[in-house]
Amino acid sequence: MARNTYTLDGIGLTNLEAGWFLEKNTGLRIIPAKRMPNISYPGADGDVFTPGGSFLPGGVRIVMYVEGADHEEFMYRVEYLNALFLQRHKLLELRHDYDVDGYVSRHAFIKVTSATEVQPIGTGMRAGTIEYFAEIPGVFWRSAVETTQLLNVGTTPSTVLVPSLTEGNAPVADALIRFKGGFSSMVLEDYTTKSKLTVNTALSASEYIIVDTANWTARKVTTNTWEGGTNVDMSVVSNRGMGSMFVMETSLFGNDFPYRVTHYCTNPSGTPTVEIRAKKSYL
């Protein structure tokens, strides 16, 4: 697979046989702007900085070159691309491959908000370019698959890295987090955002609580699974009042920007653990 290749809704955007390819001035990604919720006071200079300002949607600009054997074929291909890009009943998955072998990819779900007039090239109206502007409502690019990090938990608060998310650099706000007993209570806190989850019910060594942080749900299971379970929402408390129950972010540590969490439990028995399952996240 070629370097810097996009696939939209399963359709390759570099397809010479089909008569189109990505123009060299196609953008890589539009860095999302940040909302700045600073506070100002009458008579005081400047603003009071408020940490954790949220991001606005991201974006990407895609420029397509299209050609046909004649004007009729050219227009057919233009209409096909417009149908592909301008679907409005769903978000479209945009895959960006940028290694030679096609093993490294980033994924974003986009909606195309506008497009330019077709710009003819040469004579005969048989070739031209179209520029599409897409918004990423979910802001961040993500890895193709989820990773799971297992952490052993003791009674002493320990701040540790989350290696499974290494290389990511954007907030992760949709992790599934699974707590395994036995313990009387367990705490998980993100080092950077100070998001905190507290499991305030005792679990035996064979019991688990699965927390869906994006949807504010908790389910109890008695087998090694990530599915099903009984509702125990009131057994897990978040210190956040809006958005996700738990947000992880990177921060500078040495020369890197890792994700770090702090965890501990009370009255452990067996081997209590916490597992973090999420896709990597990128700005």
What are the sequence ranges of the domains in the chain?
Answer: 5-139, 143-282
Q: 8 and 134 in contact (C-beta within 8 Å)?
A: no
State mean pLDDT over 121-146: 93
How many residues appear in the chain? 283
Give the Cα separation of 56 and 138 in Å (integer).
Answer: 9
Question: 114 near 102, Cβ under 8 Å?
Answer: no
Task: Please provide the average confidence, as pLDDT, over all residues in the chain.
Answer: 93
Whether the CB-CB separation of 174 and 211 falls below 8 Å is answered with no
What CATH number is given for 143-282 in this structure?
A: 2.60.120.860
Whole-angstrom distance, CA of residue 119 vs CA of residue 63: 11
Dist CA 94 CA 84 (whole Å) = 12
Residue 182 · residue 268 · CB < 8 Å: yes
Q: Are residues 92 and 86 in contact, defined by beta-carbon separation less than 8 angstroms?
A: no
Q: What is the pLDDT of residues 178-211, one digit of tens each?
A: 999 999 999 999 999 999 999 999 999 999 999 9
What helix, strand, coil percent values describe the chain, rounded to 5? 5, 45, 50
Which pLDDT tens digit goes with each residue over 24-44? 888 888 889 888 777 888 988
Q: What are phi and psi of 163, to 5 degrees?
A: -60, -30
pLDDT of residue 4: 67
Residue with tokens 């009131």: 234
Parallel, antiparallel, or unpaired: how do β-strands 158-161 and 260-266 relate?
antiparallel
- Per residue in 215-263, pLDDT (tens digit) is 999 999 999 999 999 999 999 999 998 999 999 999 999 999 999 999 9
As a whole number of angstroms, the distance between CA 86 and CA 68 comes to 21
pLDDT surpasses 80 at 14: yes
**Is the confidence at residue 78, as pLDDT, over 70?**
yes
Query: How is the beta sheet containing 185-190 ordered, strand by strand?
Result: 158-161, 260-266, 185-190, 196-199, 236-238
Residue 46: pLDDT band with limits 50, 70, 90: confident
Compute the Cα dihedral for 94, 99, 104, 106 and give only its sign: negative
Tell me, what's the pLDDT at 223? 95
**pLDDT tens digits along 149-178:** 999 999 999 999 999 999 999 999 999 999
274, two tokens = 């916490």
pLDDT higher than threshold 90 for residue 45: no
Task: Give the pair of three-digit tokens for residue 90.
Answer: 């769903």
Provide CATH code, domain 5-139.
Answer: 2.40.30.200
What is the Cα–Cα distance from 258 to 246, expressed in whole angstroms? 17
What sign has the CA pseudo-torsion 50, 51, 54, 59?
Answer: positive
Q: Per the structure block, which two tokens stand in for 177?
A: 């987090």
Query: What's the rounded Cα separation, in Å, for the pair 79 and 85?
Result: 10
pLDDT grade for 1, boundaries at 50, 70 and 90: very low
